[in-house]
Amino acid sequence: MSEKTDIIDENSELYEHHRVIADPGQSLLRVDKFLYNHIANVSRNKIQQAAKAGNILVNEKQAKPNHRVRPGDVVSVVLVYPPREIEIIPQEIDFDIIHEDEDTIVINKQAGLVVHPGHGNYSGTLLNGLAFYFQKTGQKIENEFGYLVHRIDKDTTGLILVAKNEEAQTKLAKQFFDHVVDRTYHALVWGDFDADEGTIEGHIGRSLKDRRQMTVFPDGAYGKRAVTHFRVLQRFGYVTLVECKLETGRTHQIRAHFKFIGHPLFNDARYGGEQILKGTTFTKYKQFVQNCFKLIPRQALHAKSLGFVHPSSGQTMHFESALPNDMQQALEKWDGYASHQKSE
């Protein structure tokens, strides 16, 4: 019996998790051959790559390719796949590289940059830019444009990690699967909070009314488990700056979770944050908020920090990214407004 589940919804085209239970009549068989026989459209080399990275488990324990599967054994594997077959044309695109070595590249992504080609965005993406960069610098990357291990939304700024070879991608994928990658986000959300910290739980899945939007299903009848931890960084009265730490990594998780608890991200048009949701009816206040919207014409979300274990050296890597100018300017305006309100 076999089953397949996506590991991380935001990366559902990047990773697959297969779980196979060996039949009672199963003869002793190498685990790599066993998985090759049970998983369609996968190469023996990819399975061996997964084993080398520690991504094959037999009865919850890591297994080498020559491990013999016995009747009743539970075999699971994390496999990594590239995005759908789309031609990646090298294009010169500016992006901020904050770290690079033989296996990894960490980029501080700007707002408006799509990570990889897809429906409606077949060019001008980060991968197009990486293809040009690798070509320009004479780097011989196996697939010419790098290997994604996670994604962030087009209008979300901040840190994104890309592998330079399939082995590094496979090892990093296991870290995402085990939820040991340390990622924090800063978000400006509508409203104030009673407590200084909290946890949002609720399954997330695609909206049954709008496929472009994710919805929280608190009863767990639909979607996948999602957990977001947050703490308040700064209160401005009608909006609040929070730090978010992801326990899971679903598509639009932070955006959907904060909408669910009544605190949509500031100017997040897809999740209702582009409306004036808190505050007064005074014309001056409305104009103030509209001016803030103009300063940051996107959801106020930034991937602030990223930590992982290097796939070759085993060294713990940690990176921080300063808030982008648009978000910083909006915070300064809110800080000034809040200070003015207190002085009255």
Q: Among all residues, which ones are annotated catalytic? A: 153
Determine the Cα–Cα distance for residues 183 and 23; give it in Å rounded to an integer: 40
Q: Which of 63, 81, 49 is nearest to 20 (CA)?
A: 63
- How many Cα atoms within 13 Å fall on the side-chain side of residue 41? 3
DSSP-assigned states of every residue in 143-171: TSS-EES----TT-EEEEEEESSHHHHHH
Q: Which of 257, 333, 252 is nearest to 291 (CA)?
A: 333
Q: How many CB atoms lie within 10 A of CB 31?
A: 25
Q: Output the CA–CA distances (angstroms, integers) from residue 248 to 44, 201, 202, 251, in the order listed.
A: 30, 10, 11, 10
Tell me the three state secondary structure of residue 75: strand
Termini Cα distance of the chain = 69
Q: How many CB atoms lie within 10 A of CB 318?
A: 9
Element (H, E) at 51: helix 44-52
Give me the amino acid identity at 163: A
Element (H, E) at 219: none
